[in-house]
Amino acid sequence: MGKKPTSVIIALTGPKHCGKTETGKALADLSGGTFLDLDTVAEELSGISPRELYKKGRDLFQEAETGAVSEVLRRASEDPGLYIIAAGGGIIDNRRAFETLKQSAVLVYLDIIEETAWKRIEAASSGGLPAFLEGAENPKQAHGELHRRRSGLYKNHAEITLSAENKDPAGISAEIWDIIKVRYL
According to the annotation, is 100 in a ligand binding site?
A: no
3-state SS assignment for residue 3: coil
Give the C-alpha separation, 91 to 99, whole Å: 10
CATH 3.40.50.620 for domain 8-180: no
Digit-coded pLDDT (tens) for 29-54? 999 999 999 999 999 999 999 989 99
Q: Where are the domains of the chain?
A: 8-180
Q: How confident is the model at residue 153 (pLDDT cuts 50, 70, 90)?
A: very high
According to the annotation, is 67 in a ligand binding site?
A: no
Strands (E), the chain: 8-13, 34-37, 82-86, 106-111, 160-163
pLDDT beyond 80 at 185: yes
According to the annotation, is 127 in a ligand binding site?
A: no
The reported pLDDT for the residue numbered 135 is: 86
**Amino acid letter, 84:** I
Rounded to 5 degrees, what angle do the CA atoms 158, 183, 25 make?
65
Residue 86 φ then ψ, to 5°: -95, 115
pLDDT beyond 60 at 170: yes
Residues in the chain: 185
**What's the rounded mean pLDDT across residues 52-65?**
94
According to the annotation, is 16 in a ligand binding site?
A: no
According to the annotation, is 17 in a ligand binding site?
A: yes
According to the annotation, is 21 in a ligand binding site?
A: yes
Whole-structure pTM value: 0.94
According to the annotation, is 20 in a ligand binding site?
A: yes
Residues 6+ apart with CB under 8 A from 185: 8
According to the annotation, is 22 in a ligand binding site?
A: yes
pLDDT beyond 80 at 18: yes
Q: How confident is the model at residue 4 (pLDDT cuts 50, 70, 90)?
A: low
Average pLDDT of the chain to the nearest whole number: 94
Digit-coded pLDDT (tens) for 92-151? 999 999 999 999 999 999 999 999 999 999 888 776 788 889 889 999 999 999 999 999
Percent helix, strand, coil in the chain, to 5, is 60, 15, 30
pLDDT beyond 80 at 3: no
Q: Bigger pLDDT: 113 or 5?
A: 113
According to the annotation, is 102 in a ligand binding site?
A: no
For the four alpha carbons of 121, 124, 130 and 136, in that order, the dihedral sign comes to: positive
